[in-house]
Structure 1
Amino acid sequence: MNKLLIAALPLALAACATGPAYSPSAASGAAPNLTHSVVLTKLDSPWDMAFLPNGTMFFTEKCLGLSVRKPDGAVVKLLGMKDAQGYAASASDLFCEGQAGMAGVAVDPNFASNRFIYVYSSSSLTAPGSNRVMRMKVNDAVTAVTDRTDIVTDIPYKPRASDHPFGGPGAHNGGRLRFSPGDGFLYVTTGDTHNGAGPISPTLLAGKVLRIDRDGKAAPANGAPAGFDPRIYTYGHRNPQGLSFRPGTNQAFTAENGPWHSDEVTALVPGGNAGWDPRPNMAGRGACPDNYCGYSPNQMGAMDPKQRAAFMPMTDTTTYPNAMKPAWNNDGLSQGMFGATFLSGPQWKGWDGQMIVGLTGIGIHGTPVGNRLDLLNIAAHGTSATRTTVNLPMPAARFRSVVQGPDGNLYVAVDEGTISRLTPN
C-alpha cells in the first residue's frame, strides 16, 4: 500500500497562519443580548447565503435555485433548477435528490470589477451525475446571471442504488463554498458520498477540501502529498458542511458531520489528513457492506459509551498519528453540524473572535436532537475549544447556514424555510 495513504504529513498548525495572532476587541467580555427579526419566509430548504457590501444577499434553495434579496427587500429569482418556476433563467441539468441539490454560494472578493459569483450544485451533465462549482456573472441591475462556466466538474455524487445498505442518493454531498479573506482563493468542501475509497484517494475529489482559483485551477502551495490531485488542500474528510476562517490568522476551519458520533470542528493545514478512512481491511477491519465501513460496528446503540468506544473513529489517530486533531467533537455525539462562521466586531462583545456553528440533529438511534447554535472559543493552537450554547431569541430549528452580514449581524437559514437576522446588543 502507498505509504502516502497511511500517514499524514507532519504539519504544524502554525504553517497556515497568514497574519498575526488574533486579538479580539477590548469590548466587554459579557455575552451580547440577541434580538431576532425574520428576513425571508416561505422558502424551500434554504441552504446558504452570500452578501455584497451594500447588504444585497444571494441565497440558494436546495431544490429550487439561486435568488437574490436586494437592500430594499425585493427578491429576484435568478437561476432555477430543473422544473423550478418563476426564475429569470433555468438550467435543466441541475437537480436535487436526497441531501444533494443547489448548495453553497460565494461572492468573488473582486465582485465590483468582475461581477462573479460561484455556486455548488448537483448536475446530470455527466453520468451518473456529479457535483460542480459554477461561476456566473451578475448584471449591473442584479436581476440576471449569465456566462455560466463550470470551473470544477468532477466532484463525485452518490447515485441512486437499490441495493445500497444505507443512505439515499445524494448522501454526504458536501457543498460549502468560501473565499479566504487572507489568500483570496476559493475553498470547496466535498463529502465522501458513502464511498469507502474516496476520502483517502489521491484522485477522487470525495471527502476533501479543495483550494482553487477563479478558473478552478489548483492554488499554489496546497501541500497535498505527491501523486494527489493538486486542487486538494486537505483530505480524509467525511462530510464537511461548515467552513470559516479565523479573523487575524485566516486559518480555515471545517465543521463536519460524524457517523452517529463525533461531529468535529477542525483547524486545517495545507496537505493535512482529517483521518477519516472508511475502507475495509484497514486497522484489522473485515468486510463491510458495499465496501464502506463508516458505520462499523453496528451503531444502533450510539448512546452507550462502552459501545461507542469501539466505533470506527472520526479522526483515526492510530492509523494516522499525524492527522489533524479536532478542536471539538460535540461531546462525542453526531447531531448534524452545518454552517459555521467566526463572529467579528466589538458589537459581539465577549463573543468577538469566537466561532458559531449550527446543529440540525434529528435524534436518530437515541442521539439527542441538536437544533441549536453553539459558540466555540477555540484555543490559539486550534486543537481544543470550550462550548457555550447560545440562548436563542426565537424557537430552535434545523440550522443550515450561519453567515455574518456586512452590517455585522448574524444571518441564519433553517430547513423549515426562513432566513432570520440575529442582532447583538
Structure 2
Amino acid sequence: MNIRAYRPALAVAALLASTSILVSPALAQRGTNTTTLSHEVVLSDLQDPWDMAFLPDGTMFFTEKCQGLSVRLPSGDVVALLGMQGSEGYASTAEDLFCEGQAGMMGLAVDPDFEDNRQIYVYSTSNLVTPHTNRLLRLVVDEDFTGVSDRTDIVEDVPYKMNPTDQPFGGPGAHNGGRVRFGPDGYIYLTTGDNHNAEVPQSPTSLGGKVLRIDRDGEGASDNAPPEGFDRRIFTYGHRNVQGIAFHPETGTPIVSEHGPWHSDEITVLVNGGNAGWDPRPNMAGRGDCPDGYCGYEPNQTEGMNRFERAAYMPMTDFETYPDAMPPIWDNNGWSQGLANAAFLQGEAWGDWDGALVVGYLGIGFGGTPIGQRIDVIELDTEDGISVADVTEMTLPMDSARFRSLVLGPDGALYAAVDEGAIHRLSPE
C-alpha cells in the first residue's frame, strides 16, 4: 500500500501544539476495496446535475446547473418545478436566475421539518442586482409536488465573479462553493468560494470563501464565533472553494472537502470561528507581486517546481501567516484533482465502511485530460473520530465520471450526480 500522509510527522506535531484538533499519529494509507457494489442509473439525459436532497419516502429533489429545480417522485415520475433563464417545461420560471461558467443553480437542502412547512432551500446565481450575486432561496413545495411558491431570498449577498478581464483565471462565474446542508444542530450550512478575488477569503465582510451557519431566515446562528468585526453569519473563513460538507454521524462535527489550486485538495474539520488559512493576496507568506493581483495559481507549472514545492510556495493552509489555522486532516498527496463533495456512509450493509466519509472528484487536469475521477472512502480513526486512518479508492461498477454530488439516500444507498448527465445509485451487494 502506498502511504498517503497529509503532512510530515514533525509538521503534524507543530500543528497539534497550536490546535485542539487531534490528528492520528498513524499515517493515512491506501487500503484495499472490500465492498462490492450494485449499480443502477436513476436518471439520465440531464444537463449538469449539481445536487440532490431526499424525503424519507425516497422523493428526490435535484438541481441542474443551467436548467433548474426538479423532483423525482417514488413512482419514478419527474416534475420540473422551477426553471431558470432559457429553460423550458418548468411549472414556473425565475428569470433572474442564470448560469455562466461554474455558476448557476447549485446546492439544495430539504428542511428537516418539511412535513410541516414544505420548505426547501436552493443556492443559485441571480442578476437582480449588479454586480450579480449568489443567493440562497427558500421555497415552499406544493402539496401535490407540482410547483413551488413563496420564494424568499434569505441570503442575497454572496459575491459572484462577473468580469473575466479583471481576473482572467477561470472566466466569469468561477468559484462559488455552493453546497447547502442542514446540520444536526438545526442550522443551515452554506459553503462559498473566493471568485478568484484575492481579498475575499480573509475579508471580514465579504461572504465569499466562507462557510456560513444560519437559521431558516438567513440570520447568523447565535453562537457563531467569528473574529470581532466579522459578519455574524460566518462560521469559518479563509476558504478557497468548498463544495463538500458532511457531518460526523455520531458527533455531528462538520467536515468539509475543498478544491486545491495546482495542489492540495483538502479535507478539514471545522472549528467555530476558525480560519482555513487560504490567502491568495500578493506579498503574503513571503511572496512577491502576482499577475492580476491573485496569487492563487503561483508559481505556474512552467517554472519547474514539483507539486510539493508549489504547495510550499502557495499553501492552501498558510500556517506561516496564520499559525492557528485549522489544519487539514488529509490532503491529496500534493495533487489537485477537483475534490468536490462529501457524505457519510451509514448502515450495516456497508460493513467496515459503515460510518466512513466518502468524497468524490471532478478530476479534470490541464488541457481537459481526465485525471483522478473517482470516489475515495476516508475511514476515520475510531478513537477521536476526526483523524484519517485509511483511504480506499472505491471500485466502481460503472464508468468513471466527474462526481459532482454524493448523497446518502433514505434507503441507505449512495446516490452520485455526475457532470456527464446522470444520477447513479450505488449500494453494497
TM-score, normalized by length of structure 1?
Answer: 0.91
Instruction: Identify which range, 254-263 or 295-304, moves more after superposition.
Output: 295-304
Q: Which moved more, 1:398-407 or 1:276-285?
A: 276-285
- Identical aligned pairs, as a percentage? 61
Aligned to 2:255: 253
Preserved contact between residue 33 and residue 392 of structure 2 (Cα < 8 Å): no
Q: Tell me how far 1:147 sits from its aligned partner.
A: 0.2
Separation (CA, whole Å) in 2 of partners of 1:301 and 1:229: 39
Name the structure 1 match of 2:291: 289
- Kindly report structure 1 stretches of 4+ aligned residues shifted beyond 6 Å: 365-368
Q: For residue 272 of structure 1, give the secondary structure of its aligned residue in structure 2.
A: coil
User: 1:23-172 residue pairs with structure 2 within 5 A?
Assistant: 31-172=34-175
Match of 1:319 in 2: 321
For the residues of structure 2 that align with 1:98 and 1:188, how far apart are their CA atoms? Answer: 20
Deviation string for 1:232-284 (max 9, x for gaps)? 00000000001100111000011100001000011101001101011112122
Residue 367 of structure 1: how far off its partner (Å): 8.4
CA distance change for structure 1 residues 414 and 232 in 2, over 3 Å: closer, same or farther? same
Task: Name structure 1 gaps, 5 residues minimum.
Answer: 1-9, 15-28
Residue 382 of structure 1, CA deviation: 2.5
| Residue of structure 2 aligned with 1:404, choices 405, 408, 412 | 408
User: What stretches of structure 2 of length at least 5 have no aligned partner?
Assistant: 1-17, 23-31
With the length of structure 2 as denominator, give the TM-score of the two structures.
Answer: 0.90
Q: What displacement does 1:401 show?
A: 0.3
Partner of 1:233: 235
After superposition, the C-alpha distances for 1:173-224 in whole angstroms (9 at most, x for unaligned) are: 110000012x010000000001101111110001000000000000121111
Q: CA deviation at 1:303?
A: 7.5
Letter of the structure 1 residue corresponding to residue 325 of structure 2: A
Matched-pair contact (CA < 8 Å) for 1:172–1:194 = yes
Change (3 A) 1:184 1:13: farther
Residue by residue, what CA displacement relative to the aligned partner does 1:40-88 show, whole Å, maximum 9, x if unpaired?
A: 0000000000000000000000000000000000000000001100000
Distance 1:339 1:163 in 2: 29
- The question of whether the paired residues in 2 share the 8 Å contact of 1:261 and 1:302 is answered with no
Shift of 1:330: 1.0
Distance 2:312 2:21 in 1: 29
CA distance in 1 between counterparts of 2:308 and 2:406 reads 34
* Cα gap change, 1:322 to 1:163, in 2 (>3 Å): closer
CA contact (8 A) 1:266 1:382 kept: no
AA matched with 2:207: L
Residue of structure 2 equivalent to 1:389 = 393
Letter of the 2:216 counterpart: R
Residue aligning to 1:7: none
Is the 8 Å Cα contact of residues 302 and 367 (structure 1) preserved in structure 2? no
Query: RMSD in angstroms over aligned alpha carbons?
Result: 1.8
**Counterpart amino acid of 1:390?**
M
Question: Would you say how many aligned residue pairs link Structure 1 and Structure 2?
Answer: 401
CA distance in 1, matches of 2:315, 2:389: 19
Distance 1:221 1:117, change over 3 A: same
